[in-house]
Chain A
C-alpha cells in the first residue's frame, strides 16, 4: 500500500517534470526539469528494486550527461523567441514519435495480458539479494566480450571528442609551471662581492 502511494506520487512528479521539459520557456529551466525527471525515474527504478540502475541513472545521467546538456544549451545562445517559432514546425514529427511510443506501450500491456507471453509482476527479491552483485557476476564473465567492446567504444569516444573539438591557438604565451617550480635562487640572483667604496 505504502509502496503504491510512493510509486504513484513519484510517477506523478515525473510526468509533471516531463511536461515542464516541453513547456518551459527558458531552455536552462527545461534542462533542470529534465534533471528532476531523471531523479524521479531513479526513484522508480529503486521501487522496482533495480538498485544499480537507479544509482547509475543519478551518477551518469544527472551527474554528467545533464552537465553536457547545460553546456550545449549555453553554448548555442538560444533565444526564447526562436524556440517558440520552431514549435509548429517540429510538431508533426513529435506527434509521430509520441504515437509510436503509445503503440509500443499498448503492445506491452496487451502482451502482458496474454497467456504464455505474460511477464510476472515484480516479485520482492529474497533477503540479502544484491542487484549489483547479480549484474556483476554475469557482466564480467558471460558477457565479457560485450564489456571489452564497451571499452573500445569509450576509447573511440575519447578520440572522436578530442579530434572534433580540440583547437590549438597558435602563438599563445604560456607559463611552464614545471620550470617555474624547478628554478633555483642561484639562477635568479647574482651576488657580487666587491670592496666597499668611500664617498669622494
Chain B
C-alpha cells in the first residue's frame, strides 16, 4: 500500500528542497543592508494608521464552525462511497437518514440567515 505514496514522498522532498534552496540563496547572496525604513510596512507614502494584526469579526467564527460540520459530513461520506457494494441497501438507508438529519440543520441555518453576510 505504501508504494502508492512514493510520489507524495518525492513531491514532499522536492518542495522542501526548493523552499530551502530559495531562502538559502537569498540569505547567502542578499546584500542584507537593513534599515528601519526598509523593514517598516509600506503603505503608499503615508504612515501606517494601525497595526496590521487587527481583530477579526466573530462572524468568521460562525462560518468556520459551519464549515467544520459539513467537512465532517464529507469525511463520513468517503468510507461509505468506497464500501457501498459491501454494505448494500442497509448502508444506503443509513446514509440517507444521516444526510436527512443534517439537511434539517442546513435548512435551519439557511432560514436563520446564518449563511448571509449582511
Contacts and interface: CB of A to CB of B under 8 A. Distances in A.
Contacts, number: 154
B72 to A, nearest CB: 6
Given A60-B72, A140-B90, A152 B101 contact: yes
Nearest to A69: B64
Interface stretch (B22-30, B33-41, B108-116): B108-116
A168 interface: yes
A68 to B, nearest CB: 4
Interface residues of A, number: 55
Interface string A49-68: 10110011001100111011
Contacts of A72: 61
Contact of B83 (A137, A161, A172): A137
Contacts of A137: 83, 86-87
B65 A55 contact: no
Contacts of A55: 78
A136 B79 contact: yes
B86 to A, nearest CB: 4
A138 to B, nearest CB: 9
B71 A147 contact: no
**Which of A140, A157, A168 neighbours the largest number of chain B CB atoms within 10 Å of its CB?**
A140
A168 B66 CA distance: 17
B53 interface: yes
Contact of B62 (A65, A133, A154, A162): A162
A103 B78 CA distance: 36
Interface residues of B, number: 52
Contacts of B79: 52, 132-133, 135-136, 139-140
A165 interface: yes
A169 B118 contact: yes
B95 interface: yes
B102 interface: yes
Contact of B61 (A65, A71, A132, A140): A71
A55 to B, nearest CB: 7
**Which of B5, B53, B79 neighbours the largest number of chain A CB atoms within 10 Å of its CB?**
B79
A64 to B, nearest CB: 4
B65 A59 contact: no
A159 B108 contact: yes
B75 interface: yes
Given A74-B56, A168-B113, A161 B78 contact: no
A140 B87 contact: yes
* Closest 4 pairs (CB-CB, A-B): A136-B83, A136-B79, A158-B105, A151-B101
Interface of A: 3, 6, 46-47, 49, 51-52, 55-56, 59-60, 63-65, 67-68, 71-72, 74-77, 125, 129-137, 139-141, 144, 147-148, 150-152, 154-155, 157-159, 161-162, 165-169, 172, 174
